[in-house]
Amino acid sequence: MSSELRVVAIADADSFVKWSAALLDAVPGIRRHMLLVRTPLTVSREQENMALAGTIIGDGAVTRVGFDEVAGWLQGHLPDVVVLAGRGHFVRLIARVIDRLKQRPVVVSGLPGMSIPALRGTLEYRRESDLLVLHSHREIRAYEALGDRLGIAVPMALATLPYARRASQVVTASRMRAGAADAVGAADAQGGGVAVVERERRGTDLVFAAQALVPAERDERETLVDILRRAAAARPNRRVVVKLRSRPGEAETHLERDAYTELLANRPANLMISYEPMALALSRAEGLVTVSSTAAVEAIARGVPVIALDTFGVRKPLLNTVFAGSGLLGDAGDVVARRFRHPDADWMHDNYFHPASESDWWDRVQELVMLRRGGVLPAKTVPAGRGGTLHAAWHRKSVLGSEDRSFTGQVALGIGAPLVQGILGMRRARGRAGEDTWADATTDYTLEPRPQKDPVRR
């Protein structure tokens, strides 16, 4: 294209800020901006610094706004492309704002990490996007199958997951935005190459990538903590680092119960809690342990070996079926003995480590921009929800929380919350067994709501 495209990511929660910033950071020749909308999930200043560490998005390219300011900001800046980076309800709420703009941008949405199994809500809330960005051939197959099952057609494109960066592309930054001088990733112009290169220098930390949603039960999280304690005791001269996404009082994309800060209140000296960027933690890692965190992809790309913990099984509710056949699965004994491993080569191509040349998302975006400028790309507007004004008020209140001070929002929330819980309960009861459910091991998607309690409203 003859001129730089103006691209803005609109986000709130930490994982989506990190993902969208890294996604845009890898695209050359664009004018990029980050618009942070105030919701109960919006990143703190420190989380923002962590999320943007290693990218070229600086303070001057980040604007914080209230929801009611979004339309005016977009109208004043007229971006060519908007990347909607948030949970499904957030995406749909912002999409309704875009529907009212006189000059409509191309609307792109996507997911901030590994997304197997494909979820019904993920697709339904993004069905009005001009393009859905996914990060592996397996994910595209799963979401296409889900779309066929639901009768939803959303154009999809492949991008290299921003954290899947070669070890040879890791460069030394003068100073990370979070404040520490260490190694950070730099993706190539196509979103990062994916060949795995062994690092010359190996660290000594066992890094555990904690997750809010899995394992979900307190006794399982206590079991995990016990495994980490045993690993620390087995090698008292080496650190076990529990890498957390947020400090106490900060919000995350998903709601955490039974926090590790509580479960690890009394711990040995070499069992540490860390809030540093994952890239920094991995620079000192001997290996990474996780149940199903996208940090596993980040570690693999840097040549850091991994254990995908299978102590609680390998099943959809644990979000770890993606690791079946990877060669990464291991049990508690493997963690204690630090028997880390590298992934199977055949698994890699289908799961996040395809060649950069196969990533077509930005080419597709540019084509869509040309079509929109030519007046031949029709707008995909969000239809009015059942329930009319009351439904719209509930939707806004559920996303914005205390940022929405309207009387109608408060009334709608009181009426709508029990109804939503009832609908979700009926869907769970209907689909407790059988095909297309969380229990169905034959598919990479599910029609059921999440089994974990992860409310939109905080």
| Per-position DSSP letters for 91-146, written without gaps between them | HHHHHHHHHT-SSPPEEEEE-SS---SEEHHHHHTTTT-SEEEESSHHHHHHHHHH
- Note the pLDDT of residue 421: 54
Same domain, 337 and 239: yes
The answer to the question of residue 80 being in a domain is yes
Listed residues 373, 406, 437: the one ending a domain: 373
Same domain, 111 and 26: yes
Give the CA distances from residue 292 to residues 287, 434, 449, in Å, rounded to whole numbers and listed in that order: 15, 24, 19
Please count the structural domains in the chain: 2
* Predicted confidence pLDDT, tens digits, the chain (458 residues): 557 999 999 999 999 999 999 999 999 999 999 999 999 999 999 999 999 988 999 889 999 999 999 999 999 999 999 999 999 999 999 999 999 999 999 999 999 999 999 999 999 999 999 999 999 999 999 999 999 999 999 999 999 998 886 533 433 332 333 333 233 233 333 334 444 444 445 799 999 999 989 998 999 999 999 999 999 999 999 999 999 987 777 767 766 777 899 999 989 999 999 999 999 999 999 999 999 999 999 999 999 999 999 999 999 999 999 999 999 999 999 999 999 999 999 999 999 999 999 999 999 999 999 999 999 999 999 998 776 677 778 778 889 988 887 756 565 566 655 555 555 555 555 555 567 899 999 999 999 888 876 666 55
Same domain, 207 and 261: yes
- Note the pLDDT of residue 413: 62
Same domain, 274 and 230: yes
> How many whole angstroms separate alpha carbon 106 and alpha carbon 408?
31
Same domain, 145 and 218: no
Q: Could you read off the pLDDT of 268-318 as tens digits, one per residue?
A: 999 999 999 999 999 999 999 999 999 999 999 999 999 999 999 999 999
Listed residues 317, 335, 350: the one ending a domain: 350
Give the CA distances from residue 243 to residues 167, 271, 315, 330, in Å, rounded to whole numbers and listed in that order: 21, 11, 24, 19
Same domain, 105 and 126: yes
The answer to the question of residue 404 being in a domain is no
Say whether 48 sits in a helix, a strand or coil: helix
Say whether 379 sits in a helix, a strand or coil: coil
- Note the pLDDT of residue 393: 80
The answer to the question of residue 40 being in a domain is yes
- Note the pLDDT of residue 34: 98
- Note the pLDDT of residue 411: 53
The answer to the question of residue 423 being in a domain is no
Same domain, 150 and 59: yes
Supply the range of the domain harboring residue 217.
Answer: 202-350
> How many whole angstroms separate alpha carbon 335 and alpha carbon 307?
7
Give the CA distances from residue 195 to residues 4, 86, 114, in Å, rounded to whole numbers and listed in that order: 30, 29, 18
> How many whole angstroms separate alpha carbon 32 and alpha carbon 57?
8
Give the CA distances from residue 27 to residues 12, 23, 159, 166, 340, in Å, rounded to whole numbers and listed in that order: 21, 7, 11, 17, 33
The answer to the question of residue 384 being in a domain is no
Same domain, 143 and 252: no
Same domain, 335 and 363: no
Same domain, 62 and 99: yes
Give the CA distances from residue 192 to residues 58, 148, 166, 185, 363, in Å, rounded to whole numbers and listed in that order: 21, 31, 7, 10, 15
- Note the pLDDT of residue 425: 56
> How many whole angstroms separate alpha carbon 110 and alpha carbon 159?
10
The answer to the question of residue 387 being in a domain is no
Q: List the CATH number of the domain containing 317.
A: 3.40.50.2000
Same domain, 142 and 11: yes
Same domain, 207 and 328: yes
The answer to the question of residue 41 being in a domain is yes
Structure tokens at 349: 């191509």
Element of type H or E holding 445: strand 445-446
The answer to the question of residue 134 being in a domain is yes
